[in-house]
Structure 1
Amino acid sequence: MLDKIDLRLLQLLQDDGRMTTTELADRVGLGPTATSERVRRLTREGYITGFHARLDPTKVGLGLLVFIEVKLDRTTPEVFEDFAAAVRRAPEVLECHMVSGGFDYLIKSRIEDMSAYRRFLGEILVALPGVKETHTYPVMEEVKNIAGLPL
């Protein structure tokens, strides 16, 4: 079980993964050794899965954000497995979620521009195993984009 200090450590590290152990210790009211042990335990137990730098997508040439609904031609375990394996190999796909409703998967992708998206759609996305139909939603404005969890 997580206590208040664990939750605070997780929240602080979500906000700034580069925070030193000393800074963390000061913020949660523990000594550096106890803080370091807690962070190691949270990592070992899988609460912390990694540390990452958040990049500005436009500065690295990936300014177009799109969401894509994907409907498969069949919904069998084999088709699901083949589709998922192929998606994992596509670097343009940032997230892919199996959903219930009018389609099977929701994909989040970042691409350079609409021309690059057209290539991605024609050469990669529609060639994925089992893809019957796609609907694309280009993002005009990102209103909120938070990577952290609401702890």
Structure 2
Amino acid sequence: MLDDLDRRILRTLQYTPDAAMHEIADRCGLTAAKVTRRLDKLRDAGLYRGQEAVVDWAALGFEVSVSLRITLDKTQARAFDEFHAAARDVPEVTEIQTFLGRVDVRLFVVARDMAHYQMLYRDRILTLPHISDIEALMLVSTLKSDERLPL
């Protein structure tokens, strides 16, 4: 599946995602063309999805972060599809996760302050279709946030 060179390339990208292709190649002992070809193969295989910017919401003035655990009304055949489609339209919802178990969906919501969150909750979240139960977990602090894997 992955050989040592692939692991080295992915490890380098995880720890220095903003490195230029020639820097990655130098660190891995390869040419930039070879790194590009290997990344293309990893992307085609679904192992490497690319790079993205990580935005610090708090630095942009979004001081409140809430995780909403939602149980849907499963008596409605289209409950999941209709809920997910509507939740995607709320710009302050930064992530949607689905689960098996009592909780069906978790939404991560950011807001500028508590007044903004209260407005979002009342006007945008509670109006989402097919909610049968909702629990809000207010984020106090993030102790670890890391998607790097030990390659």
Q: TM-score range by the shorter chain?
A: 0.7 to 0.9
The AA in structure 2 aligned to 1:137 is L
Pairwise CA distance, 1:82: 0.6
Deviations 1:46-80 (A, max 9, x none): 33323222222211111211111111122544111
Q: TM-score, normalising length from structure 1?
A: 0.88
- Offset from partner CA, 1:65-105 (integer Å, 9 cap, x none): 11111111225441111111112222211111111232211
Aligned-partner Cα distance in 2 for 1:89–1:27? 42
* Pair 106,47 (structure 1): closer, same or farther in 2 beyond 3 Å: same
**Correspondence list, 1:19-34, <5 A:** 19-34=19-34
Whole-Å separation in 1 of the counterparts to 2:47 and 2:104: 29
- Going from structure 1 to structure 2, the CA distance change for 1:76 and 1:47 (only over 3 Å counts) comes to farther
2:39 counterpart residue number:
39
How many equivalent pairs are there?
151
Query: How much has 1:123 moved relative to structure 2?
Result: 0.9
Distance 2:28 2:13 in 1: 12
Where in structure 1 are there 5+ consecutive unaligned residues? none
Q: Secondary structure at the match of 1:107?
A: strand
Cα distance in 1 for partners of 2:90, 2:135 equals: 18
TM superposition shift of 1:24: 0.9
| Correspondence for 2:65 | 65
Q: Distance in 1 between matches of 2:5 and 2:63?
A: 38
Residue 117 (structure 2) aligns with: 117
Using structure 2 for the length normalisation, give the TM-score: 0.88
Q: Which residue of 2 is the match for residue 53 of structure 1?
A: 53
Q: CA RMSD in A?
A: 1.8
SS at match of 1:24: helix
1:97 aligns with 2:71: no
Q: Which moved more, 1:37-46 or 1:54-63?
A: 37-46
- The one-letter code matched in structure 2 to 1:37 is R
Q: Identity over aligned residues, as a percent?
A: 30
